[in-house]
């Protein structure tokens, strides 16, 4: 039985919505987007043939509204809905509602979503299907005394997991029996808050495991295949950061055994469509963890090594077609990596960041590099959704080539406006242990010192390039003003900035609390800069309209870019970036006029972190409080420098939208 799909509605936003539309369009389908008030001008809206508003910014009032999405689908005449990932993608009620409305749900049957929805129930099913499990307890009985006995039986350390869990939430490692009761209570609390269900399961906690998952695909004719595996061991807070395919060191026999186990898992629940069976592997063993009944964030690495388009497969299967390839014909060639470029601050425990992307350059045009992104320069990363800016995927003939391309791609990535994990990702690829594929889920923790060196002081090169930028920019502005013969131009009036008044100009930079003075002497063809600690450099160069600098530093030629946003200068050179504030004497007087302000919760949620206390000095952009709702964390950041007056809530408190979280007072 086949069903026509001509118009596809994508019930999602961001990169995955844009990515699904690309394939849909290639297949000749009409594409329909939905959007919240916050996304009216988003890329996914512009990429679609048609787009429908579905409500306010909080996901609960838009992307999670089954009625509004079905309403849009009816208006648009959509005959299928792709849920993407996150939001409603693993919601059985939504899958049911689509089918009831006569609209194909591009995903598994609701029954399969339900069967895998509870990790405990899924494990019970898998046990029956003969799929290997981590030693543990996944029973119905939740009596704390029984759970404690089970933990003793399994042997410490153990891991308590929320049965309804996802996104690493509600997970607690317990090292010894004495800590069990407290950890259980805390896991139950988190699970109740996050999923409205406090049931837990207990597993043996493996101490040096790898996360290896298998991509499976099934059609409605009884065929089910695996498209090999992905290694997602590079994680922070039990969340993936880097993924690759194939898994290093995987023998063909083990691949076949894990693939078959994954296919058995899928068949046990009558699976149809794309799914991922996640295993935890240690030594020769591999154990079922959970099945994600949707397209995964990291599916592009599988596309790269198989040469298949998984979204195309999904749409074909939803039409009732047979799988395009049989098991023996699925290619596996080369190696691929994916990194998730997040708006987050690695130096602040990876806290998500929100703000405007003042400048964004993604390495789209490099051979072997694919970029999936849902944002452009000028867009904002909002408090309401996932803080992922882009996925960068690289492909190569082997692991080393793919990794080299990733380093190059990350070096060519420029983001200004909010902190990202770009340099952190770069550091991962520069670590010898990573090159040697010494992968396990403790990698980031173990290499913390190398990966998170902390903020470095501004280098002489960065100071020189920032100075050159200001000097060339000034010269350009003066020339423009002179040409316009504008007698009121501030450039004509600024003393110390006139080239002909004095033979030098003083520039002041601020990096954190530190002030850095640079004196620039005008010399034929360029400048001689006096840098801190008696250093001196001759610099000359030219600036293109796009801000690219062609510079010579003591004769050494280099290409760089300096991006200005307010007083902040971000210097991109040789694959690294550094930020400095230019302290402009002309602007000093109109600076910092803020008044004591209230900081309110962006949406109803739970306080999961209070980063400051009364009396703390904070700088503009510092994270103050983290509020969490559903799977999402929102950071409330300081809108300006100031002193924390009082903090109204503690970790664990529930807050309403608009609740006053803390008071920020003016410094003084």
Q: Which residues are catalytic?
A: 294
Nearer to ligand ADP, 11 or 553 (CB): 11
Question: Between 419 and 458, how does the x/- string for binding to ligand ADP read (CB under 6 A)?
Answer: ----------------------x-----------------
DSSP sequence for 162-180:
ETT--TTTT-EEE-SGGGH
Only segment of 271-279, 341-349, 479-487, 574-582 that touches Mg ion (CB under 5 A): 271-279
Residue 549, contacted partner among Mg ion, ligand ADP, none, CB below 5-8 A by kind? none
For residue 621, state whether it binds ligand ADP (rule: CB under 6 A).
no
Stretch that binds ligand ADP, among 295-303, 367-375, 473-481, 657-665 (CB under 6 A): 295-303
Q: How far apart are CA 299 and CA 82, in angstroms?
A: 15
- According to CB under 6 A, which residues from 82 to 101 bind ligand ADP? 85-86
| Contact with ligand ADP (CB under 6 A) among 219, 474, 577, 633 | 633
User: Closest approach of Cβ 205 to ligand ADP, in Å?
Assistant: 5
Binder of ligand ADP out of 39, 219, 231, 298 (CB under 6 A)? 298
Q: Which of residues 590-619 bind ligand ADP (CB under 6 A)?
A: none
By CB under 5 A, the count of residues binding Mg ion is 1
**Which is closer to Mg ion, CB of 39 or CB of 278?**
278
| Nearest residue to 216 via CA among 282, 285, 294 | 294
Instruction: Return d(Cα 40, Cα 465) in angstroms, integer.
Output: 38
Task: Output the residue with the shortest Cβ distance to Mg ion.
Answer: 278
Strands (E), 285-376: 285-292, 335-342, 344-345, 351-352, 355-356, 359-361, 369-373
Evaluate whether 137 touches 147 at the Cβ level (below 8 Å): yes
- What does 134 interact with, of ligand ADP, Mg ion, none (CB < 5 to 8 A by kind)? ligand ADP
Query: Which of 54, 88, 289, 381 contacts ligand ADP by CB under 6 A?
Result: 289
With binding defined as CB under 6 A, does residue 132 bind ligand ADP? no
Among 134, 245, 272, 357, which residue sits at the site for ligand ADP (rule: CB under 6 A)? 134
Q: What angle do CA 218, 219, 225 make, to 5 degrees?
A: 35
Residues ≥6 apart with Cβ < 8 Å to 609: 351, 623, 625, 626, 651
Q: x/- site string to ligand ADP, residues 235 to 264, per CB under 6 A?
A: x--xxx------------------------
Per CB under 6 A, does 79 bind ligand ADP?
no
Contacted by 440, from Mg ion, ligand ADP, none: CB < 5 to 8 Å by type: none
Name the one range near ligand ADP by CB under 6 A: 290-298, 315-323, 446-454, 540-548.
290-298
CA 87 to chain centre: 16
Identify the residue among 52, 63, 205, 443 touching ligand ADP (CB under 6 A).
Answer: 205
Using CB under 6 A, which of the segments 216-224, 231-239, 431-439, 651-659 binds ligand ADP?
Answer: 231-239
Please, which residues have CB within 8 angstroms of residue 409's CB and are 6 or more apart in sequence?
A: 363, 366, 369, 392, 394
Q: Which is nearer to ligand ADP, 298 or 345 (CB)?
A: 298
Helix (H, G, I), strand (E, B) or coil at 429: helix
Q: Which two tokens stand for residue 209?
A: 């495991």
User: How many angstroms separate the CA atoms of 563 and 416, rounded?
Assistant: 7
Q: How far is the C-alpha of 221 from the C-alpha of 306, rounded, in Å?
A: 22
Helix or strand run (H / E) with residue 26 = helix 14-26
Q: How far is the C-alpha of 507 from the C-alpha of 562, rounded, in Å?
A: 16
Please report where in the chains the tokens 């749900």 appear, as a residue: 105
Helix or strand holding residue 433 (H, E): helix 432-435
Distance of closest approach, residue 119 Cβ to ligand ADP, in angstroms: 6
Cβ closer to Mg ion: 172 or 319? 172
Is 308 within 8 Å of 227 (Cβ atoms)?
Answer: yes
Which of the choices ligand ADP, Mg ion, none does residue 240 contact, using the CB cut-off of 5 to 8 A by kind?
A: ligand ADP
Q: Is 19 helix (H, G, I), strand (E, B) or coil?
A: helix
Q: Could you tell me the two tokens for 564?
A: 């200005």
Residue with tokens 């290619």: 331
The only residue of 132, 166, 324, 355 in contact with ligand ADP, by rule CB under 6 A? 166
Distance CA 120, CA 203 (A): 11
Provide the binding-site residues for ligand ADP, judged by CB under 6 A: 85-86, 134, 159, 161, 165-168, 203-206, 209, 211, 235, 238-240, 278, 280, 289-290, 292, 296-298, 386, 441, 631-633
């Amino acid at each position: 039985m086949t069903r026509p799909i001509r118009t596809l509605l994508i019930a999602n936003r961001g990169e995955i919505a844009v990515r699904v539309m690309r394939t849909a369009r290639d297949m000749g389908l009409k594409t329909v987007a939905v959007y919240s008030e916050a996304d009216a001008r988003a890329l996914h809206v512009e990429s679609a043939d048609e787009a429908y508003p579905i409500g306010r910014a909080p996901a609960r009032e838009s992307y999670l509204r089954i009625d509004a999405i079905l309403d849009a689908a009816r208006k648009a005449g959509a005959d299928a809905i792709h849920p993407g990932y996150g939001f409603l993608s693993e919601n059985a009620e939504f899958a049911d509602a689509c089918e009831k409305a006569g609209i194909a749900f591009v995903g598994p049957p609701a029954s399969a979503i339900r069967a895998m929805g509870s990790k405990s129930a899924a494990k019970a099913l898998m046990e029956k299907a003969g799929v290997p499990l981590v030693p543990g307890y996944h029973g119905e009985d939740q009596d704390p005394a029984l759970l404690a006995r089970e933990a003793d039986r399994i042997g410490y350390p153990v891991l308590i997991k929320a049965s309804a869990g996802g996104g690493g939430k509600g997970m607690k490692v317990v090292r010894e029996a004495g800590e069990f009761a407290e950890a259980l209570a805390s896991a139950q609390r988190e699970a109740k808050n996050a999923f409205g269900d406090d049931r837990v399961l207990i597993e043996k906690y493996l101490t040096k495991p790898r996360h290896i998952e298998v991509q499976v695909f099934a059609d409605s004719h009884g065929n089910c295949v695996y498209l090999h595996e992905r290694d997602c061991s590079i994680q922070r807070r039990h969340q993936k950061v880097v993924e690759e395919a194939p898994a290093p060191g995987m023998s063909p026999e083990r691949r076949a055994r894990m693939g078959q186990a994954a296919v058995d898992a899928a068949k046990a629940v009558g699976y149809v469509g794309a799914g991922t069976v996640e295993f935890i592997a240690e030594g020769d063993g591999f154990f079922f963890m959970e099945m994600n009944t949707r397209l995964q964030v990291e599916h592009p690495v599988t596309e790269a090594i198989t040469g298949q388009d998984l979204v195309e497969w999904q749409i074909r299967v939803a039409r009732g077609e047979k799988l395009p390839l049989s098991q023996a014909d699925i290619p596996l060639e080369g190696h691929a990596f994916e990194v998730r470029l997040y708006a987050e601050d690695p130096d602040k425990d990876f806290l998500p960041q929100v703000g405007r992307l003042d400048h964004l350059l993604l390495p789209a045009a490099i051979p072997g590099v694919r970029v999936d992104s849902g944002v452009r320069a000028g867009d904002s990363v909002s408090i309401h959704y996932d803080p992922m800016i882009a996925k960068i995927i690289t492909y190569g003939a082997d692991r080393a080539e793919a990794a080299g391309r990733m380093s190059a791609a990350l070096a060519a990535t420029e983001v200004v406006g909010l902190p990202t994990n770009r340099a952190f990702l770069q550091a991962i690829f520069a670590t010898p242990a990573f090159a040697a594929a010494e992968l396990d889920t403790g990698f980031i923790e173990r290499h913390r010192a190398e990966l998170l060196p902390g903020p470095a002081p501004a280098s002489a090169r960065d100071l020189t390039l920032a100075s050159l930028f200001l000097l060339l920019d000034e010269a350009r502005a003066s020339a423009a003003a002179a040409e316009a013969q504008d007698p009121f131009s501030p450039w004509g009036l600024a003393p110390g900035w006139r080239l002909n008044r004095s033979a030098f100009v003083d520039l002041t930079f601020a990096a954190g609390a530190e002030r850095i003075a640079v004196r620039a002497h005008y010399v034929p063809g360029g400048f001689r800069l006096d840098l801190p600690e008696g250093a001196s450099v001759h610099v000359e160069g030219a600036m293109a309209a796009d801000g690219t600098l062609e510079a010579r530093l003591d004769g050494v030629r280099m290409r760089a870019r300096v991006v200005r946003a307010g007083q902040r200068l971000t210097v991109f050179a040789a694959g690294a970036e550094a930020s400095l504030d230019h302290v402009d004497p002309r602007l000093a007087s109109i600076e910092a006029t803020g008044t004591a302000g209230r900081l309110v919760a962006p949406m109803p949620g739970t306080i999961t972190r209070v980063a400051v206390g009364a009396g703390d000095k904070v700088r503009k952009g510092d994270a103050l409080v983290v509020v969490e709702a559903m799977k999402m964390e929102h950071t409330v950041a300081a809108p300006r420098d100031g002193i924390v007056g009082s903090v109204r809530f503690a970790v664990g408190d529930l807050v309403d939208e608009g609740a006053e979280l803390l008071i920020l007072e003016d410094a003084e």
